[in-house]
């Protein structure tokens, strides 16, 4: 397929043009988290012709994702495919002329350089502040632009972070807004709120890649698609005394106090302390008498009432059926090994 034909309607848009399109084809972005927001970001940027799109995600597709996570289908959920792999397969069906780099991984301080490096822009498709602060530290330290985006219920919020120019995430939220924070697990989510915020963020991403920085929004924008309330808070310059922009104190990059076992959505625990490869065939044979087990190249699933364990090739596991980290650790040690 001829590239100029594929992108003709976008090239006609004067702010992009042939020159901008060529910049997009040389552009490299990384999308951290490929759930609802990440699906839309990846889909729009892939269709726009961004040359290299790296997709990071630690999770696998489940039926409850299909209401909003637009890159996935029922087959992906049946196979419990990792989201990064399912996304890469789907994108290849509509644009085989760009490079998609899927990584089934949890972004942590130890792998942040290899997973976020060699890109022009970082996009936020995560669902938690811990990872966002890690991205923020990395971006500020390396002077890389990144775009914060989040949605819950009918509410969506986004901000461009341009190091040295605008406020950063820690300027606006010095502390993680814990406690009363709603999540998709408690407040639900409208797919339209996700698509709105991801569309805005994807457009800002195009501006970064074609060099239209002066057109970028320098506010924290929030929008409630149900109440129709929307607001913008100024974020055009760093806050005096910001730990990250001002003191350049990158505590999240240093990984201080970061747990190896974390709660991961409702009624599930993630264990990522074991960083050595596991042999699915061997484990599968061992678990066969103990419950129901099934694996493909990407995940192994093991059911033993009331628990469901999903194991990835690097030894990381998500255990469903408990929020007790001690129980999760003991199940892991019993069935996978310690």
The residues that touch Zn ion, with contacts defined as CB under 5 A, are 168, 170-171, 238, 242, 244-245
Shortest distance, position 140 Cβ to Zn ion, whole Å: 7
Comparing CB distances to Zn ion, the nearer of 88 and 235 is: 235
Strand partners, 99: 52
Closest residue by Cα to residue 264 from 312, 305, 192, 208: 312
Comparing CB distances to Zn ion, the nearer of 129 and 332 is: 129
d(CA 108, CA 245): 21
Q: In what order do the strands lie in the sheet with 292-295?
A: 261-263, 268-271, 317-320, 307-311, 300-304, 292-295
Shortest distance, position 253 Cβ to Zn ion, whole Å: 14
CA of 18: how far to CAs of 51, 70, 96, 190, in Å?
A: 15, 29, 20, 36
Comparing CB distances to Zn ion, the nearer of 168 and 287 is: 168
Shortest distance, position 213 Cβ to Zn ion, whole Å: 18
With b for 16 or more beta-carbon neighbours within 10 A and e for fewer, the 301-314 pattern comes to bbbbeebbbbbbbe
Comparing CB distances to Zn ion, the nearer of 72 and 250 is: 250
Shortest distance, position 220 Cβ to Zn ion, whole Å: 12
Comparing CB distances to Zn ion, the nearer of 91 and 171 is: 171
Written as one string, the DSSP assignment of 75-142 is: HHHHTT-BHHHHHHHHHHHH-TTSEEEEEE----GGGHHHHHSS-SEEEE--S-HHHHHHHHHHHHHT
Shortest distance, position 242 Cβ to Zn ion, whole Å: 3
Comparing CB distances to Zn ion, the nearer of 6 and 141 is: 141
For the record, the structure tokens of 222 come out as: 């929030």
Comparing CB distances to Zn ion, the nearer of 168 and 205 is: 168
Shortest distance, position 129 Cβ to Zn ion, whole Å: 15
Q: Are strands 155-161 and 146-152 parallel, antiparallel or unpaired?
A: antiparallel
Strand locations in 88-229 (E): 99-104, 121-124, 146-152, 155-161, 219-224
Comparing CB distances to Zn ion, the nearer of 145 and 238 is: 238
Shortest distance, position 293 Cβ to Zn ion, whole Å: 47
Give 331's contacts (C-beta < 8 A, 6+ positions apart): 307, 309, 319, 322
Shortest distance, position 131 Cβ to Zn ion, whole Å: 17
Q: Give SS3 for 320.
A: strand
Shortest distance, position 199 Cβ to Zn ion, whole Å: 26
d(CA 268, CA 327): 11
d(CA 311, CA 337): 12
Comparing CB distances to Zn ion, the nearer of 242 and 319 is: 242
DSSP assignment, residue 109?
G
């Amino acid at each position: 397929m001829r590239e100029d034909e594929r992108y003709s309607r976008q090239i006609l848009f004067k702010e992009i043009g042939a020159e901008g399109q060529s910049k997009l084809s040389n552009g490299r972005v990384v999308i951290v988290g490929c759930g609802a927001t990440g699906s839309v970001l990846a889909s729009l940027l892939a269709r726009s012709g961004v040359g290299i799109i790296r997709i990071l995600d630690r999770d696998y597709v489940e039926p409850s994702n299909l209401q909003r996570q637009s890159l996935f289908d029922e087959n992906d959920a049946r196979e419990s495919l990792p989201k990064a792999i399912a996304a890469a397969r789907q994108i290849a069906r509509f644009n085989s002329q760009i490079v998609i780099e899927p990584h089934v991984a949890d972004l942590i301080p130890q792998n942040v350089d290899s997973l976020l490096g060699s890109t022009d822009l970082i996009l936020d498709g995560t669902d938690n502040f811990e990872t966002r602060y890690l991205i923020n530290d990395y971006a500020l330290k390396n002077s890389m632009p990144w775009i914060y985006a989040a949605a819950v219920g009918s509410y969506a919020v986004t901000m461009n972070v341009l190091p040295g120019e605008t406020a950063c995430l820690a300027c606006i939220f010095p502390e993680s807004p814990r406690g009363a924070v709603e999540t998709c697990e408690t407040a639900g989510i409208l797919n339209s709120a996700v698509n709105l915020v991801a569309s805005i963020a994807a457009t800002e991403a195009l501006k970064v890649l074609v060099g239209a920085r002066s057109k970028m929004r320098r506010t924290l924008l929030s929008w409630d698609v149900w109440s129709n309330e929307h607001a913008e808070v100024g974020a055009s310059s760093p806050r005096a005394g910001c730990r990250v922009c001002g003191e350049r104190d990158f505590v999240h990059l240093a990984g201080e106090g970061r747990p190896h076992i974390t709660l991961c959505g409702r009624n599930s625990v993630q264990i990522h302390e074991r960083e050595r490869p596991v042999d699915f065939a061997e484990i599968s044979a061992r678990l066969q008498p103990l419950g129901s087990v099934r694996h493909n190249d990407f995940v192994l699933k093991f059911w033993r009432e009331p628990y469901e364990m999903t194991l990835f090739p690097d030894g990381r596991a998500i255990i469903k059926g408990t929020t007790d980290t001690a129980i999760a650790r003991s199940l892991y040690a019993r069935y996978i090994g310690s």
